[in-house]
Structure 1
Amino acid sequence: MTVLPTRLDPAGADYAEHRAAMLGKLADLDAEHAKALAGGGPKYVERHRKRGKLLPRERIELLIDQDSPFLELSPLAAWGSDYPVGAALVTGIGVIEGVECVITANDPTVRGGASNPWTLRKALRANEIALTNRLPLVNLVESGGADLPSQKEIFIPGGALFRDLTCLSAAGIPTVAVVFGNSTAGGAYVPGMSDHTVMVKERAKVFLGGPPLVKMATGEESDDESLGGAEMHARTSGLADHFAVDEPDALRLARRVVARLDHRKPGPDPDVNAEPPKYDEDELLGIVPGDLKVPFDPREVIARIVDGSDFDEFKPLYGASLATGWARLHGYPVGILANAQGVLFNEESQKAAQFIQLANQRDIPLLFLHNTTGYMVGKDYEQGGIIKHGAMMINAVANSRVPHLSVLMGASYGAGHYGMCGRAYEPRFLFAWPSAKSAVMGPQQLAGVLSIVARQSAAAKGQPYDEDADAAIRAMVEQQIEAESLPVFLSGRLYDDGVIDPRDTRTVLGLCLSAIHNAPVEGARGYGVFRM
């Protein structure tokens, strides 16, 4: 075995400093996650409970197998926007009757579960995960439909939600809707287009137009129950496949529906006998410096997340600022690319392209561990072909067909973010540590570039340059870019699938690898033209 050694000193001053910085970021992250857990706030949570209803995460807890994990995705969606953190929707992956499923649950304590633009984006991302990984989709529905004041941002793209349900069904991926309350207007199409629908007695209300709208449109007098109640849909319209007496019964019926899917996972389950890492996962807190300009060895991270800390490095002496190699994680084979010193040079780019091709030949998923400031700039590197070599790496990533997983540990700047399979390159899952930052470039560099351009412009016009104004603008730009580089900001825009505690990395990746193996894992057999 090629067990990685460790040079990390848990008793050292650097380790203590790094750990303290990470714990501070985790405390801030917990405060933001608490906002999502709070839903619409105490007033609306209490109102919901008085109606005898469960909260969305309580519904999920009763739905999934006892003591099984639930990997919540994008809990910080809408952070920094005008909408509540969490976007009035809970999404994630859980196991129901032994079957891994994508689960979504409206949060009715937030404006009645109405969908805002971030709800839509979060739901579409959940649908994408279900389709790409061939996971059954279970929607726990209680929503008043579109948040009308923001309809201009929802109506046109929102049709994709219903398209996705039909596409999932056509692809042989089961869809289930469990309706606990209102499912109005466009929301009525969620149970209407799902393969299986469960409705709760005297609670579920599914109609294209409620009594007020019907009165306005047709003059007809009606009530909720006769217009769209669960019993009516179970006895008369036929929309309800299963009629539940209460919420726990609805969740029991949903579990039975999933059990009867006879869903077969083509790939393996995690290896329960996989050897854990040789080193303590708690030590992951002390690896990344608070100042990302200070390099760190990603092998220390790899040693604490892969089985037995066993890592066969590929080309260790060539392109040394990118570590590449083979390992197993919960029994699953993975190829790992991890930035060692931040900058990607010509050799690293060529090495990465070859390694990605090898993984595709062997049908092995790839894990990208980010800490890069981008591709190297400068006359010597331009003359040495950094553009074509960087393009070679990006070509390999873009046309790779094995599943990709990405974790942003530190910096992820510029085209290096692309080459390391950032969000635009559609990794199956992408997570960030609280220490991560991502942008076109670092705040100081970006502000400095703007300053140089402004200075040159003034000189070209023969005008004096205002140094005081320059300093003020640079400070403002640095502050703005710093704020927009932080993981909570990026996660709020769904540029990742969540900000995670470093100590949970192995578990999160294991859950993702298991989910990925519900679909065939096959590599690319051809590539675009590599510029040599």
Structure 2
Amino acid sequence: MTPYESRIATGSAGFIEQRAGMLALIAEMRSLEERAAHASAGAAATFASRGALLPRERVDRLLDPGQPFLPLATLAGYGLDDSNLDTCIPGGSQIAGIGHVSGVRCMVVATDSAIEAGALTEAGNLKLMRCQEIALENRLPFVHLVESAGANLRKYRVDKFIRGGGMFYNLARLSAAGVPVITIVHGSSTAGGAYMPGLSDYVIMVRGQARAFLAGPPLLKAATGEIATAEELGGTDMHARISGLAEYVADDDAHAIAIARAVVGALPWPRAEAPARAAPPRSDPDELAGAMVLEHRRPVDMREIVARIVDGSLWLDFKPDYGEHTVCGHARIDGHAVGVITNNGPIDPAGATKAAQFIHLCNQSGTPILFLQNTTGFIVGRASEEAGMIKHGSKMIQALSNSQVPQITIHCGASFGAGNYGMCGRAFRPRFCFSWPNARTAVMGGEQAAATLEIVARQQAERTGRPLDEARLAAQKADIIASFDRQAGAFYTSGHLLDDGVIDPRDTRPVLAFVLAIIAQAQSHPSRPIQFGVPRF
């Protein structure tokens, strides 16, 4: 491998302009995340009055001090229900991420019960299920801090109810796969929330605060006429002494978290080790804020991005003169070997063939693949069709779909058309998937979509001999462009859980180093699956 020599002039007007634009997007992202934190902190007095910690305080106490924490899906729910983007609170009322607990890398999910009493939402359910999937695939102990009022009956939708069952399916799968599920019940855990401890391997309940029942006192009275207090129906003492739901009883939130840390500490699970010292990139990662173009029509050599992510900026270019718009090569990130596939333009027949071969080679050597998406899609036109774009593009997708090595995707710029698929978009199940704030995802550009439909309308009018309403056509064009633009942005797609979160481009290297270490540990630590999840006795 040889160091990549950057050709970017960091003092140029273009670089400075791009950096300012990226920093503005990052500030907007942080503002949205802060909106959720601020809404949660607004309940501080209420929680203090009952001697409870706020959900974010619970997470802070659970995690090992000074160790990295990777938040996931912080914008979940942003624009999901076509709500007012200026007032909606992103995050899905769930705090989630991967961090260290008693030296063990764990998936941590906490119900943000300071927001609407932790009622389950569609975004929250999707986020929770995605976190469970990540924990299962990477063999991460799943630590769940629960306090939920159950489903929000005012916003009931039968389709959300049906799909929401997946979170319980996943809990059972985690236990059966030999991945421990540890749950603290901090407060009320009603209906679906009650099955969360019910499907856990270890349950800790806080005396005087925690309650778990399938039907709370109001529903019980409405359904059967029976009258019981919440404590009688599902209090901690009842579950510890009579039902057997709780293994451990805590005096308060802090005590419960200490017990959870002790449970994790007792597990014979690999402890995260400090990574070996790896050479930092020769090109400054801080320059990623200006190295990436914000307008997808402008060209960028993605090797400049790679050079600011990989160890020592060292890069082994694979077939650089063949299918040159598709860039493939070998590098290391924090000592972990990776194959990198990225784009300097549309994917043409040669580029698709090259990428397919490279995917096969990475599978042969067991090398994880990093996809840095920046493509306008598979190339179109008479010449490319005659060159076999369909069959060569299909060859790339075949290789990707059947690849057996871990894949990580970063949406760095454009992600249009089937290029999203060929470059391992969400539907192709990358192990982790993140976006930069400038990323744009769509089946095509809004202008192209509007122009396509305008051509169809004019051809139809010509065939039928009917006059064309130009004003109506212009209005339709404007609506289509607006609709595509609204849905293409990274904050909107992340709000719909089409990635695992939006990250600051300058954090790309530490994020990749973190998840590659998780992947390496999962591959080296044998699981002990059983036929069924551990039942509660």
The one-letter amino acid paired with 2:400 is V
1:456 to 459, 466, 479: 459
What pairs with 1:91-490 in structure 2 (closer than 5 Å)?
91-151=96-156, 152-264=158-270, 271-340=275-344, 342-490=345-493
SS in 1 for 2:132: helix
Which residue is equivalent to 2:35? 35
Q: Give the structure-2-normalised TM-score.
A: 0.93
Give me the CA root mean square deviation.
1.7
Distance in 1, matches of 2:372 and 2:496, equals: 21
Distance in 1, matches of 2:144 and 2:165, equals: 16
SS in 1 for 2:3: coil
SS in 1 for 2:179: coil
Q: How far apart are residue 470 of structure 1 and its match?
A: 2.9
Structure 1 gaps of 5+ residues are: 523-532
Which residue is equivalent to 2:94? 89
Which residue is equivalent to 2:76? 77
The answer to whether the 8 A contact 1:102-1:130 is kept is yes
Which residue is equivalent to 1:493? 496
Q: Which has the higher contact order (CA 8 A, sep 6+)?
A: 2
SS in 1 for 2:109: strand
Distance in 2, matches of 1:193 and 1:242, equals: 15
Distance in 1, matches of 2:507 and 2:383, equals: 41
Which residue is equivalent to 1:51? 50
SS in 2 for 1:375: coil
The one-letter amino acid paired with 2:97 is G
The one-letter amino acid paired with 1:182 is S
Distance in 2, matches of 1:367 and 1:413, equals: 18
Q: How far apart are residue 41 of structure 1 and its match?
A: 6.9
Distance in 2, matches of 1:385 and 1:401, equals: 26
What's the CA shift string for 1:377-431, capped at 9, x where partnerless? 1111101100000000111111101111001111000000100000000001111
The one-letter amino acid paired with 1:257 is V
Distance in 1, matches of 2:342 and 2:243, equals: 56
Distance in 1, matches of 2:388 and 2:225, equals: 73
Q: How far apart are residue 221 of structure 1 and its match?
A: 3.5
What's the CA shift string for 1:281-315, capped at 9, x where partnerless? 11001112232100111111111111111111111
What's the CA shift string for 1:124-180, capped at 9, x where partnerless? 111111111111111100001111133323332222222211111111011010110
Distance in 2, matches of 1:64 and 1:490, equals: 29
SS in 1 for 2:169: helix
Identity across the alignment (%): 46
The one-letter amino acid paired with 2:48 is R
The answer to whether the 8 A contact 1:269-1:514 is kept is no
Distance in 2, matches of 1:13 and 1:465, equals: 46
The one-letter amino acid paired with 1:13 is A
The answer to whether the 8 A contact 1:282-1:503 is kept is yes
The answer to whether the 8 A contact 1:270-1:510 is kept is no
SS in 2 for 1:465: coil
The answer to whether the 8 A contact 2:294-2:413 is kept is no
Q: How far apart are residue 213 of structure 1 and its match?
A: 3.1
What's the CA shift string for 1:349-382, capped at 9, x where partnerless? 0000000000001111100001100011111110
Pairing 1:512–2:524 present? no
**For structure 1, which segment, 347-356 or 281-290, has the greater mean C-alpha deviation from structure 2 after superposition?**
281-290
Q: How far apart are residue 215 of structure 1 and its match?
A: 3.5
What's the CA shift string for 1:47-102, capped at 9, x where partnerless? 23333322222211111111111111111111013463111111111111111111
SS in 1 for 2:441: strand
SS in 2 for 1:161: helix
What's the CA shift string for 1:218-273, capped at 9, x where partnerless? 444422223211122222322111111111111110001001111137xx956331
Distance in 2, matches of 1:20 and 1:218, equals: 62
The one-letter amino acid paired with 2:89 is P
Distance in 1, matches of 2:431 and 2:108, equals: 16
Distance in 2, matches of 1:23 and 1:219, equals: 59
Which residue is equivalent to 1:10? 10
Q: How far apart are residue 468 of structure 1 and its match?
A: 3.9
Distance in 2, matches of 1:504 and 1:498, equals: 12
The one-letter amino acid paired with 1:333 is A
Distance in 1, matches of 2:213 and 2:306, equals: 52
The answer to whether the 8 A contact 2:288-2:308 is kept is yes
Distance in 2, matches of 1:441 and 1:235, equals: 60
SS in 2 for 1:343: coil
Distance in 1, matches of 2:413 and 2:16, equals: 18
The answer to whether the 8 A contact 1:180-1:199 is kept is yes
In structure 2, the CA distance between the partners of 1:156 and 1:309, relative to structure 1 (3 Å rule), is: same
How many residues are treated as equivalent by the alignment?
518
**For structure 1, which segment, 494-503 or 228-237, has the greater mean C-alpha deviation from structure 2 after superposition?**
228-237
Distance in 1, matches of 2:261 and 2:55, equals: 16
**For structure 1, which segment, 113-122 or 32-41, has the greater mean C-alpha deviation from structure 2 after superposition?**
32-41
Q: Give the structure-1-normalised TM-score.
A: 0.94
Distance in 1, matches of 2:5 and 2:385, equals: 36
Which residue is equivalent to 2:531? none
Structure 2 gaps of 5+ residues are: 526-537
Q: How far apart are residue 217 of structure 1 and its match?
A: 4.2
